[in-house]
Structure formats: structure tokens, C-alpha cells
Amino acid sequence: VQEGEAISSAAFSVSDAILSRHSCRSFTAQPVSIASIRRLLDTARFAPSGGNLQPWIVHVLSGSAMARFRAQLTPGFLANPLAGSAEYHVYPPELKQPYRSRRHKNGEDLYRLIGIPREDKAARHRQFAQNYNFFGAPVGMFFFLDRSMGPPQWSDLGMLIQNIMLLAREQGLETCAQESWAIWHEEVAEFLRVDSAFMLFCGLALGYGDTASPINRLRTDRAALDEFAVFHE
Ligand SMILES: Cc1cc2nc3c(=O)[nH]c(=O)nc-3n(C[C@H](O)[C@H](O)[C@H](O)COP(=O)(O)O)c2cc1C
């Protein structure tokens, strides 16, 4: 994978899927069939979980349900994208180094790529608000956990979500995990009629990436292997 390369072709190995996955933030309107989505989830469900609890609930929005969601809720979210409040800390309130710098760089790289300067807060908000349109994706997913579950089960849910993101690559599809939905958990749960025993962890946009869109050229870096792995030989 070349840095800055827009990926749209399908992935055929696990490495290929991992290296070609990136967060897609502009989708075409091309629909994804229910059969494709079902196939994806039907394989993703084999994710491991501690004690095989499989502590996940997934709600999928597409077709006319997605149209209804967009008509009813999206205008309010776009008008005031930061007005909601999350039930959990998406990041620790005091983000330590090196995490703080990494988060900062991620935002700066993204906005620089699409030509939005730091001072233009309104433009940054408008771009952030696109989360609440699933960046134009035809399919949205919401992931819930039973409230009685703790951090180990949140990690199990992450494994399911990663399976979904990698399997999407196999079908030439792109994704963006979206914790930004956490601030609108009440509205989302009400629309989907999810029992209050479950809490929203995050959403996910799914569809075909718009390869012409500059924002999709963002490729994020990672700490080198020896910065996080310790080998005891
Ligand atoms: C659980 C989770 C939640 C995320 N939430 C958002 C989000 O709300 N909006 C967004 O644009 N990106 C979101 N991201 C994408 C991350 O910013 C992205 O994964 C990270 O910067 C690495 O870039 P890459 O996915 O392109 O490799 C999320 C990623 C994860 C794993």
C-alpha cells in the first residue's frame, strides 16, 4: 500500500485487509445489498470473546430505514453537532503523552489535507458534523452492550468491529468506526427502540469509498514495532 493511495479494490488476504483498511470519510451513494451486509455479519460473529459471552448487539440501518433516520435526526445533529453528551469518556479527561500528541496530529493531518486551517472552527465543526451523516454512507451500524458488562466485554466488542472492518475490505467496501455517535446515544436508542438495559458504544459507516475525495487520502502512521513490543528472548 502506497502512502496516500486511495484504496477501493478488494482485499484477498488478512494482511491485505489490515493494510488496506483505513477510516473512510466520504462514501458514494452506491447501495450495499442486505445480502452483502448479512454475509459480512454472519462471518464477523465468529470473533472471539472471553468465555464466549458474545456480548454484542448490532443494529443495521440501510435503505428506507436509513432514509427515515436521516430525515428525522440528521438535521438536528448537523445543526448542533457537539450538543449531545456521552455516557462514557471517549478519551480519558487528562490525556497523557504520547497519546495527546497522537490525537492532536491525527486531527491536524486530517484538516490540513482538506485545507481547513486551525482558526476556521466553523469549517472544522462542519466537517466533524459529517459523522452524523455517516459521511454519506448508505449503511450505518450501531453497536450496543448490556450495561452490566465491563471493560473486558468492551474489548470483545472491539474484536467484532474489527472483523466487520476487515471483512468489508474483502467485498471492496470501506468503513469508519464512529465513537462520535456516543454523544447522541439517547436519540439513537430511541429511534432504534433499544431497551435502556443496553448502552451505545459506537457507530460505523459502511459503503463504497469515494476515491476522488481528498479526505480519503489520509493515511495515519503508527508507532514502530519496537516502541510498543518488548521481546524477551
Ligand atoms: C472505536 C473507534 C471509534 C472511532 N470514532 C471515530 C469517529 O467518531 N469519527 C471519525 O472520523 N473517526 C473515528 N475513528 C477513526 C480513528 O480516528 C482512526 O481509526 C485512527 O485515526 C487511525 O486511522 P485509520 O483508521 O485510517 O487507520 C474511530 C476509530 C475507532 C477504532
pLDDT of 188 over the 70 cut: yes
* Mutational pocket test of ligand 1: of 88, 176, 200, 217, the residue with most ligand atoms within 8 Å of the beta carbon: 176
Predicted confidence at residue 4, as pLDDT, reads 44
* Banded pLDDT at 84 (limits 50, 70, 90): confident
Q: Whose CA is nearest to atom 6 of ligand 1?
A: 178
Range name among 82-91, 120-129, 131-140, 162-171 with the lowest pLDDT average = 82-91
Cell of 113: 489535507
Cell of 131: 459523522
Q: Whose CA is nearest to atom 18 of ligand 1?
A: 23
Predicted confidence at residue 81, as pLDDT, reads 87
* Banded pLDDT at 8 (limits 50, 70, 90): low
Q: Whose CA is nearest to atom 27 of ligand 1?
A: 22
Ligand 1 contacts CB of residue 206 (under 6 A): no
Averaged pLDDT, 144-159: 97
Predicted confidence at residue 10, as pLDDT, reads 79
Cβ neighbour number for residue 103 with a 10 Å cutoff: 12
Averaged pLDDT, 187-215: 97
CA distance readout (Å), 230 to 96, 99, 224, 225, 226: 21, 19, 12, 9, 7
State the sign of the Cα–Cα–Cα–Cα dihedral 25, 28, 29, 33. negative
Distance from Cα 176 to the centre of ligand 1, integer Å: 6
Predicted confidence at residue 151, as pLDDT, reads 94
Ligand 1 contacts CB of residue 23 (under 6 A): yes
pLDDT of 3 over the 50 cut: no
* Mutational pocket test of ligand 1: of 1, 21, 23, the residue with most ligand atoms within 8 Å of the beta carbon: 23
Decide: helix, strand or coil at residue 3: coil
State the sign of the Cα–Cα–Cα–Cα dihedral 12, 215, 99, 200. negative
- What's the mean pLDDT when you consider all of the chain? 94
State the sign of the Cα–Cα–Cα–Cα dihedral 181, 143, 173, 52. positive
Predicted confidence at residue 82, as pLDDT, reads 87
Q: Is 209 exposed, middle or buried (0-12, 13-18, 19+ CB in 10 A)?
A: buried
* Banded pLDDT at 14 (limits 50, 70, 90): very high
CA torsion 7-174-150-179 (nearest 10°) is 90
Averaged pLDDT, 6-34: 89
Cell of 11: 482485499
Range name among 10-14, 69-73, 131-135 with the lowest pLDDT average = 10-14
